[in-house]
Amino acid sequence: MPELPEVETVCRGLEGPLVGHRLTRVSQRRDNLRWPLPDNFAQRLQGRTVQRLYRRAKFILADLDDGWVWMTHLGMSGRMYIHSGLAPDPGKHDHVLLETDGGHTVVYQDHRRFGMMDLVPGDELHKHRLLRDLGPEPLGNEFNGVVLSQALRGRRTPIKSALLDQKIVAGLGNIYVCEALFHTGISPRRLAASVAGRRAERLVPAIRDVLSKAIAKGGSTLRDYVQASGELGYFQHEFAVYGREGEACGQCGQAIKRLVQAGRSTFFCSRCQR
């Protein structure tokens, strides 16, 4: 699944073609993705102007000129493609097509249909069932060592699992949690409660750093992920531990290990991470 840097990269890639432009023609080629699309979805989007485009956790949000918000989640394999002028004839998995008055066509493609789209009143966005319980943004000013420590206190789950809990911090995924824990020297098996305090103070900047570097590199390419521009992200060439089971740790030379936590692969160095 695309993680925060990938979603941020797609969001930034869509800004130029969409923000300040009117959606002159919107076509939906099916009634549902992961869940049913809103009633009259295409008709309600058509004619609207996108005033702002931004990200919350792994959701792409577009403020429209009628006060509603177009909300998108890419799911496991969702992609946004940008075409200058009219798009080629839609393929089997091209589900939503949007033409703009700026001469672009944006195509949402999703082979597995695990993505979603919704239309939400702007003044009720914070109440949406997928947004209302989200924790702070890891790149925002509201996320710091004190906030993370308070969220982790008393938690008996492993720190890896705790950081994937979207109520603790929004948008973190498997890849970048593995990377941040390595750069902080914290074992993914350590109980979350034991990370509160000084370890949390070290962990926050490590999370910010690994996310910022991944965004700067255009996100990571894993299976289906492609930027809105069609270019591949390439941060995966800089992974310290993720996907490197059996390879030598760049810090100590010991083989990177893999374990499964809550059904997800965790990669770490047992010598460097305690």
Whole-number Å distance between alpha carbons of 29 and 98: 12
Catalytic residue among 2, 5, 138, 158: 2
Q: How many angstroms separate the CA atoms of 273 and 254, rounded?
A: 12
Task: Locate 3 and state its tokens.
Answer: 């993680």
Active site residue 142: no
3 is an active site residue: yes
Q: Which of 3, 6, 8, 179 is catalytic?
A: 3
What is the distance between the alpha carbons of residues 46 and 26, in angstroms, rounded to a whole number?
A: 5
Q: Is 115 exposed, middle or buried (0-12, 13-18, 19+ CB in 10 A)?
A: buried
The active-site residue, picked from 34, 208, 258, 264, is 264
Q: Is 199 a catalytic residue?
A: no
| C-alpha pair distances (Å), 253 with each of 13, 178, 211 | 38, 18, 25
160 catalytic per annotation: no
Catalytic residue among 12, 56, 58, 79: 58
Write the DSSP string, 84-98. ESSPPSP-TTEEEEE
Angle between helices 198-216 and 145-152 (to 10 degrees): 120
Closest by alpha carbon to 46, among 81, 20, 22? 22
Compute the distance between CA of residue 51 and CA of residue 129 in angstroms, rounded to an integer.
24
Give the residue numbers annotated as catalytic, written as ranges: 2-3, 58, 264
